[in-house]
Amino acid sequence: MTATPQSIEMLQIAANAADAKGGDDLVALDVSEPLPLVDIFLLVTGRNERNVAAIGDEIEERLLAAGHKRLRREGRQESRWLLIDFGDLVVHIFHEEERNYYGLERLWKDCPVVPFEIATPAPAE
């Protein structure tokens, strides 16, 4: 299996939202083969707890506005590792220390990377 067009659309929305709030080191992994209920993991690093929370809020807001339903959210209290589950797309937003410690890229190294593009804002005139 590979990621569906809908999950790739969700990834684009989430990646642009993360970038808008200063998310770093964005990586998307196609986990549809080992996890039949999920297509893509999006991994994002935030600079601190406030940034992690802001990135999560922006991703959630944009995906909800696009008509996607959030299934669950975990970690908002501490904002060291925030997980937002939208079914086909699961977003992991980490504080840098947690991302290094848990190493999801290492755990899912056999899964292909899903390409995405970050929209560049139009220059002001």
Tell me the chain's radius of gyration from C-alpha atoms: 14
Q: Around Cβ 15, how many Cβ atoms within 10 Å?
A: 23
The whole-number pLDDT of residue 59 equals: 97
pTM: 0.91
The highest-level CATH class for domain 5-107 is alpha beta
The whole-number pLDDT of residue 122 equals: 53
d(CA 48, CA 93): 11
Please give the chain's pLDDT, 125 residues, in tens.
688 899 999 999 999 999 999 999 999 999 999 988 899 999 999 999 999 999 999 999 999 999 999 999 998 888 889 999 999 999 999 999 999 999 999 999 999 999 999 987 655 56
The whole-number pLDDT of residue 121 equals: 65
Taking Cα atoms as reference points, which of 54, 108, 48 lies closest to residue 80? 48
Q: Where are the domains of the chain?
A: 5-107
Give CA 98 to chain center in angstroms: 15
